Structure formats: C-alpha cells, structure tokens
Amino acid sequence: MWRKWFEFIFTLGLLVLLLTIPDRNEVAYPVIYYVTVIVLYGIVLVQIVRSRNSDLKFFYKWKRTRDYRFWYHFIREFSKAFLGVLIFGVFHAWVLHGRNPFEVIFIFYVALIMGVLAGTFSWQLNESKYIKIYESLKKEGYFDQSR
C-alpha cells in the first residue's frame, strides 16, 4: 500500500519537475512537449494503479514465452529499446532544441548500444521477476491443488 503512495508522490514530483523545464530552458516546441509529458504521466499512473494485475499478466505471459530461449527475448527487447531510444533521441533533439533529426546521427549509435544492453539485461530481469512472482504466489497458496 505504501509503495503505491510513494510511487504516486514520486511521479507527481517528477511531473512538476518536467512541467517546469520550459520555464528554465528554451524549448523549441513547448506545446508538443507539454502534451507528451502529460500523456506519459497518465500512462505511468495507470501502471501504478494496476500493478497487481500487470504482475499476474506478466507472470502468465512469461510462463508461456520463457521456453523460447534467450535469443528470442534478446531480439525482441533489443528491437524495442533500439527503436525507443532512437525515436526518443530524435524527438528530443527536434522538440527541445529545434534541430533537424538528421543532424543528430550519433543518436543511431547510442540507440544501437542501448538496444544491445537492454536486450541482455531485460531477459535477466524478466526471469528474476518471474521467479519472484512465482514464489509470492506459491506462498499465498495460489498453486494448491485444493482450489
């Protein structure tokens, strides 16, 4: 219970910080910046509220897909991280600084490195999360045959 309140207060503090950035720094397209921050904040709030349901959803999904081995998950997470960093980097350069995205070609290399790291670490984190959820459900008697 306290964890949700802490996460809510922490994200509220981050929202205030993110909304004051255009006051302290020059932003090329402030309307797009504000809309993006507010939409992403809404997504984070939904994740905080539904954390228990998302844990169970993750548990059953990972239980099905963990037999695909490392490379399946690596390529999947690499693709998500690579595209996310690339899009965020180009979007950041365009919205905050008003630069042409093609002037910032080094973002591609940063995205490539981040994708490789995310692909590797994500698989390990998902396995750890699966085991943690499995152990907590086992403690609660979720897998008892008497149910």
Taking the chain (147 residues) in runs of 10, the rounded mean pLDDT of each run is: 75 85 79 86 81 79 81 84 79 72 69 81 86 87 68
- Position 1 scores a pLDDT of 59
Alpha-carbon gap, residue 138 to 145, rounded angstroms:
12
- Structure confidence at residue 103 (pLDDT): 66
Q: Please state the domain extents for the chain.
A: 1-49, 56-147
- At residue 102, the pLDDT reads 66
Give the span between the Cα atoms of 98 and 95, in whole angstroms: 6
What tokens appear for 45 in the block? 């709030």
- Phi/psi for 104 (5° steps) reads -105, 60
Q: What is the pLDDT of residue 104?
A: 67
Q: What is the pLDDT of residue 145?
A: 64
d(CA 33, CA 17): 13
d(CA 89, CA 97): 11
- pTM here is 0.53
